[in-house]
Amino acid sequence: MDSVNSKKQKNKLSVMAKREEKWGLLFVAAPAIGFLIFMLYPIIFAFLTSLTTWNGAKGFQGMMDRFCGFDNYVKLFADKKFWQTLLTTIIYLLGIPIGMILGLLCAMGMNRKIPGVRVLRTMYYVPVISSLVSVSILWAWVYNYDYGLLNTIIKTLTGLHGPNWLGDEALIKVSMIIFMVWKGLGTSIILYLAGLQNIPRSYYEAAMVDGASGWQKFKSITLPLLSPVTFYILVTTLIGGFQVFVEVQVMTPNGNGGIGYSAATIVFYLYQKAFESYQLGYASTIAVILAIIIFIITLINFIGQNKWVKTMD
Amino acid sequence: MKNKDTMSSGITSSKDKTMNIIVFILLALGAVVMIFPFFYMIMTSFMTKNQYLSGQLRVIPDPWVWGKYSEVMSKGNFISGILNTVKVEVPVLLIGGFTSSLAAFAFAKMNFRGKGAIFMGLLATIMIPFAVIMIPQYVMFTKFGWTDTLLPLIIPACFGNISMVFFLRQNLTSIPNDLMDAAKLDGCGYFRTFIQIFFPLMKGAVGTQITLWFMTIWNDYLAPTIFLRSEKNWTLQVVIRSFNTYYSIQSDYALIMAASVIAMLPTIALFFCFQRVIIESVAISGIK
């Protein structure tokens, strides 16, 4: 009797569980299907395309007719422009530690008892929410060789003509990094500030009793306890850093990537190959390599995480 | 504000006080550096060409020229750019906002096989750069006959936004599961449970996410440049960029700046209205 009852209950439960399962799957169906159609399928397709010299003509058959194996990959490794744009992309990544250090300093300042913290925080955050196209246009104007704000200030202060911020192969990279740090600083400030506010006061009080100096407190309490935030910023900005495109297209004259292609990034190169010279096969090869680079870097981040990212407990 | 500060500084030493003053001055100077380009942008939009091409440091317009804003608005492209952007925003935020909330509810409060795997799979897509999938998407949308329409910007987004799903799921964990059990006992269907019980509780979080998403769509540039060929279909950012290319040859920077100012206004206004919740939502992403 008892067993019959519990069996019935189990059956009823599993009917309910099945119903829940059906509805649950239905509710997540939209994003899941969207992922399959607009993400997974394109990734596989990108890999296939990278094995061809397709220019977009004659559909799928046209693509398979131009199958060339791994020729594109071989070609890419000998492609000077690829290495140049990859190097430029990596140089731009220097903005990440600069932004993190500045962001941490600002956040530590805002974590003190000073007036107007919320207003300050908002001011630093305005560039983040502004349209990338608009602020790139704005900075191209600020960097303008003859009439820009920066060179006007330099001339007023020193009487000398300022440098050609966007017209010099080396300097343009510095100019881009300054711009990117300015654009993204607000995010790291907010993240670090939230992290700092999350550290229990008692930790510092205990350190004070032990007579720890300010630097010691920073080194052995603040930095380790902020490491999850640092990790988060590092992962997201690295993924973003490999995708720099808009500022290059908007800030270089005629969107040409700068003198001698000096400001062009890997995504910029990929864009030009795909949508200006219609070498879809070759462009896809760049895309696949880009995906692999980002995947490996994120993987390294997550593996290395155990070494330096501490948790609160 | 001031009162509170003097009160709490009662226990801080005078050394701390001077330090605080120095920190404040540095932070304020930094903030001025952050904001000054925007100020200069607005000022330039009111200057005469003679003034901003004079090479002298005069930040305040003399005389003030008010006409550039109406000139921008009178360019046909500009208005159609705004309209096209709105045409993308409305269906995406309505439909995509709904599908994302529904999925977040299922991920947070329902049990089904494969839940964890599906969620992790979706989360991993945040790592996939748009640059990697843009060529296949372009090929696919050409096949569908969608290129040079707004559909490539609308349809995929209607399937939902992963970061929104992620945030809402996080938010739902603070709502007790008892509510779900009670609804089940009452024989309330899952969809009704979502609409009538959970959605009202999620409203605030949904609003924040929708606001953030609105900004992302408003500021989007790469996808629209790829998928939209003819000028009449361009969204606002593409129009602004073409203004920059076209009018900088004529050194009409006042017009370019005026156009950029208008293009930035909606997101900045939204940010100032909802800054507390927006900043909170950004801050949480780093801690969680």
Tens of pLDDT, residues A214-233: 888 898 889 999 999 999 99
* Residue B16 banded pLDDT, cuts 50, 70, 90: confident
A131·B56 Cβ contact <8 A: no
pLDDT reported for residue B57: 84
| Torsions phi, psi for A67 (to 5 deg) | -60, 135
Examine the pLDDT at A241 and tell me if it is beyond 80: yes
Say which CATH number the domain at A133 has. Answer: 1.10.3720.10
B188–chain A Cβ distance below 8 A for any pair: no
pLDDT reported for residue B9: 39
Does A43 reside within a domain? yes
B264·A131 Cβ contact <8 A: yes
Find the domain containing B15 and state its range.
2-66
pLDDT reported for residue A13: 64
B34·A250 Cβ contact <8 A: no
Do residues A85 and A100 share a domain? Answer: yes
A147·B52 Cβ contact <8 A: yes
> By mean pLDDT, which of A135-139, B70-74, B116-120, B283-287 is the weakest?
B283-287
* Alpha helices in chain B, H assignment, sequence order: 2-8, 14-44, 49-52, 67-74, 76-91, 97-109, 115-124, 130-144, 151-158, 162-172, 178-185, 190-192, 199-219, 222-227, 236-249, 253-287
Do residues B220 and B279 share a domain? Answer: yes
Do residues B212 and B281 share a domain? Answer: yes
A124–chain B Cβ distance below 8 A for any pair: yes
pLDDT reported for residue B287: 65
Surface-to-core class of residue A210, CB atoms within 10 Å of its CB (0-12 exposed, 13-18 middle, 19+ buried): exposed
ipTM of the complex as predicted: 0.90
SS3 label, residue B110:
coil
Instruction: Provide the whole-model pTM.
Output: 0.91
Examine the pLDDT at B36 and tell me if it is beyond 80: yes
Do residues A45 and A182 share a domain? Answer: no
pLDDT reported for residue A25: 93
Of B137, B218, B222, the CB nearest to A38: B137
The pLDDT tens digits for A146-163 are 899 999 999 999 989 999
Do residues A100 and A226 share a domain? Answer: yes
Do residues A36 and A152 share a domain? Answer: no
B9–chain A Cβ distance below 8 A for any pair: yes
Residue of B nearest to A183 (CA): B34
Higher pLDDT, B2 or A193: A193
Q: Among A25, A56, A77, identify where a domain stops.
A: A77
A34–chain B Cβ distance below 8 A for any pair: yes
| Mutant choice from B58, B135, B188, B278 vs A, greatest count of A C-beta within 10 A | B135
- Amino acid identity, position A312: M
Residue of A nearest to B213 (CA): A129
B284–chain A Cβ distance below 8 A for any pair: yes
In chain B, how many domains are there?
2
Does A8 reside within a domain? no
Of A112, A127, A290, the CB nearest to B34: A127
What average pLDDT does this structure show over B215-219? 95
Residue A44: how many other CB atoms lie within 10 Å: 10
Average pLDDT, chain B: 89
- In angstroms, the Cα distances linking B79 to A146, B70, B72 are 32, 11, 9
* Residue B284 banded pLDDT, cuts 50, 70, 90: confident
Do residues B247 and B123 share a domain? Answer: yes
What average pLDDT does this structure show over B277-283? 86
A59–chain B Cβ distance below 8 A for any pair: yes
A280·B135 Cβ contact <8 A: yes
Does A102 reside within a domain? yes
> By mean pLDDT, which of A172-176, A272-276, B75-79 is the weakest?
B75-79
- Percent with pLDDT over 70 in chain A: 95
The pLDDT tens digits for A190-209 are 999 999 998 888 888 888 88
The pLDDT tens digits for B187-205 are 788 899 999 989 999 999 9
List own/partner pairs for B118-124 with CB under 8 A and 24 or more apart. B118/A28, B118/A32, B119/B169, B121/A32, B121/A35, B122/A31, B122/A32, B122/A35, B122/B162, B122/B165, B123/B162, B123/B166
Examine the pLDDT at A1 and tell me if it is beyond 50: no
The pLDDT tens digits for B136-167 are 999 999 999 998 899 999 999 999 999 999 99
Pairwise CA distance, residues B247 & A293, whole Å: 38
Say which CATH number the domain at B161 has. Answer: 1.10.3720.10
pLDDT reported for residue B1: 37
Closest CA to A34 of B195, B129, B154: B154
A114–chain B Cβ distance below 8 A for any pair: yes
Chain A nearest-CA distance from B28, in A, is: 7
Find the domain containing A253 and state its range.
81-308
Do residues B176 and B38 share a domain? Answer: no
B275·A122 Cβ contact <8 A: yes
Does A201 reside within a domain? yes
A133·B240 Cβ contact <8 A: yes
B286·A228 Cβ contact <8 A: yes
